[in-house]
Amino acid sequence: KKKKIILNIFSGDIREDYGIHRVEGTFWILDQINANQAILPNVNIGYQIRDSCWYAPVALEQTIEFIGNSVLTAADLSANSNGNRAQLAAIIGPGDSSITMQTHNILQLFEMPQIGYSATAKQLSDKEKYKYFTRVIASDTQQAQAIVDIIRQFQWSYVATIGTEGDYGRGGVEAIRRLLNKDACIGADLTM
């Protein structure tokens, strides 16, 4: 008998440029994992997608609702012991770093693993504070280090930074500035 596992996925806005691709990519990879018994023998991974709208109050509400339903499911499972109910294994998302930090505060109360697919903030690397969080994307610091390595490799001495508004853009530019030290002059800081 296969063990059923459900992953919760906060998709955020379904944006034409990348949102639907992430959802479809998740469907595809889970289908591949479920089809190959060598990867997870006797386990079938399911999913439930919730929309956080890239907005903290919605993500927190969805997290509380989902965890509440999962706790009831776990109680039902232990009472029935028939093994047909799905077991919640992890939460994937949300996409935004600051919202990920907020939802982690709830998830850690239940020792629920959280997987970040696009949360890159340096703070999330603190395993003391975010011990149930892991990510599948490079952190802001690692991304900034790669950019600085390229600047040094090509021995560029005068560069400009272009970042987006918000934590991701500002944090990335700040990390580049810190890591670059005095190896090059940053002639312009542009924000889009």
Q: 25-62, pLDDT tens digit by residue?
A: 889 999 999 999 999 998 888 888 888 888 899 999 99
Can you give the CATH number for the domain in which 129 is found? 3.40.50.2300
User: Do 38 and 132 sit in the same domain of this protein?
Assistant: yes
Per the structure, the count of domains in the chain is: 2
User: Do 35 and 67 sit in the same domain of this protein?
Assistant: yes
pLDDT band per the 50, 70, 90 thresholds, residue 169: confident
Domain that holds residue 130: 3-137
The pLDDT mean for the chain works out to 84
Kindly report the pTM of this predicted structure. Answer: 0.74
User: Do 62 and 108 sit in the same domain of this protein?
Assistant: yes
User: Do 74 and 113 sit in the same domain of this protein?
Assistant: yes
* Cα-to-chain-centroid distance, residue 41: 26
User: Do 42 and 84 sit in the same domain of this protein?
Assistant: yes
pLDDT at 23 over 90: no
E-state strands within the chain: 3-10, 43-50, 87-92, 114-116, 133-135, 158-163, 185-191
Q: 85-142, pLDDT tens digit by residue?
A: 567 888 999 989 999 999 999 999 999 999 999 999 989 999 999 999 999 999 989 9
Tell me, what's the pLDDT at 109?
94
User: Do 168 and 111 sit in the same domain of this protein?
Assistant: no
User: Do 73 and 12 sit in the same domain of this protein?
Assistant: yes
Task: Using the 3D structure, point to which of 112, 137, 162 is the last residue of a domain.
Answer: 137
Tell me, what's the pLDDT at 12?
47
The fraction of the chain above a pLDDT of 90, given in percent, is 50
